[in-house]
Amino acid sequence: MYMKIGVIGAGKIGKTIATYLASEGFEVKIADIENRDIPNFVELDASDKTALTEFVKSVDIIVSATLFHLNKGIADVCAEVGTAYFDLTEDTEVSEHIRSLDTKTFMMPQSGLAPGAVNIIASDLIRKFDTVNEVKMRVGALPKYPSNAMAYYLTWSTDGLINEYINDCDIISNHKHIKTQPLDGLEQVYIDGDRYEAFNTSGGSASMCDTFSDKVKSLSYKTIRYPGHQASMKFLLDDLNLKHNKKKFIDLFDQEVPYTTSDVVVMLVSVIGTKDGQLLEKTWSKKIYGQDGHSAIQRTTASGVCSVVTAYAKGELTGEGFISQESVDYKVFINNKFGAVYE
């Protein structure tokens, strides 16, 4: 199983990924544009193709945990060089670019929490049915103790957050893959007696709408928040028009919204369909908290990608070109200490 792994992006989640993989005996290098005082660090400008190519050639696997807009270039180099590629991106344009690459290299984008783990879990439930009427995937990374009007503190990348809030969302409606608007589809969600709200956001359904449109009549992914958050976001993004000024939104949130590591990841997957002629419902639900100095979002995102990376290194995941999350067997996913977080 011994392989050399390069993690690009030395933020909180990137460092967690590197720590997790090193604990399994992998030789891990972590790279970023700014020098960091961390073990096995390599200074790298990922937009410099020459430097990037040299780094990619030095490892067997690349895990990109950097800004999503750099992932096209990183994926292109991996495809050319033949180094297996994983990323965490929720950006659908990046994922579509990777799907279009003509390569024999193993390429698995969208390998974090959502997209990532939630798609593997939902796909496993779908396969337990003969026909499927409805699939609901609901995920939220929430602060445990919010006190502001929008009931939210930052737990991860502001750049990724606004991307989910402003880009079109992929759903299945009446067996057809269609686009719908972010922040729409507001609903109430109850988990273990606690009330939340959920609404459409981009990226979480990964490539499931293409894979399951024949079998599944309705499929949607929504982000879970505390009640009232969606109204605040619609005011900022629609009424104040910040959806057309991403930089101002990001600057505003980074300057004025606290970042917290006191968080919880809340997940709910529900599938309704038929099995042997009987209409049934199956639900998977979990709340995941931080552990060993890693926040809940760090732990869940890193565990998602580290599980599939470990499975690839063991030879349990194989293939050429774009590899979807829904193609991963749930038993393979949870068959190591990282995937076990979701068991």
**168-189 pLDDT, tens digit each:** 999 999 999 999 999 999 999 9
- Cα→Cα distances 256→87, 252, 276, 305, Å: 29, 6, 54, 31
Co-location of 176 and 129 in the same domain: yes
> How far apart (Å, rounded) are the C-alpha atoms in residues 211 and 198?
24
> How far apart (Å, rounded) are the C-alpha atoms in residues 338 and 195?
29
Dihedral pair phi/psi, residue 233, rounded to 5° = -70, -40
Asked if 244 and 162 count as a contact pair (C-beta separation under 8 A), the reply is no
Co-location of 158 and 248 in the same domain: yes
- How many independent structural domains does the chain possess? 2
Using DSSP, state whether 326 is helix, strand or coil: helix
Which tens digit of pLDDT belongs to each residue from 119-136?
999 999 999 999 999 999
What pTM, to 2 d.p., does this model score? Answer: 0.97
Closest to 97 (Cα-Cα) out of 107, 106, 88, 105: 107
For residue 16, what is the domain's CATH number?
Answer: 3.40.50.720
Co-location of 138 and 211 in the same domain: yes
Co-location of 143 and 108 in the same domain: no
Co-location of 194 and 284 in the same domain: yes
pLDDT at 1: 65
Dihedral pair phi/psi, residue 183, rounded to 5° = 75, -5
Co-location of 108 and 121 in the same domain: no
Co-location of 107 and 235 in the same domain: no
> How far apart (Å, rounded) are the C-alpha atoms in residues 148 and 151?
5
> 88 lies in which domain range?
4-112+300-342
- Edge-first strand order for the sheet with 61-64 is 41-43, 27-32, 4-8, 61-64, 84-87, 106-108, 321-322
pLDDT at 36: 83
Co-location of 173 and 219 in the same domain: yes
**What residue ranges of the chain have pLDDT lower than 70?**
1
* Residue 176, token pair as written in the block: 């057809």
Co-location of 305 and 163 in the same domain: no
- Cα→Cα distances 151→41, 224, 249, Å: 37, 12, 17
Q: How far is CA 251 from the centre of its chain?
A: 23
For residue 276, what is the domain's CATH number?
Answer: 3.30.360.10
Query: In terms of DSSP H, where are the helices of 30-101?
Result: 49-57, 71-81, 92-100
Co-location of 187 and 210 in the same domain: yes
Asked if 161 and 253 count as a contact pair (C-beta separation under 8 A), the reply is yes
Closest to 166 (Cα-Cα) out of 257, 234, 98: 234
pLDDT at 37: 87
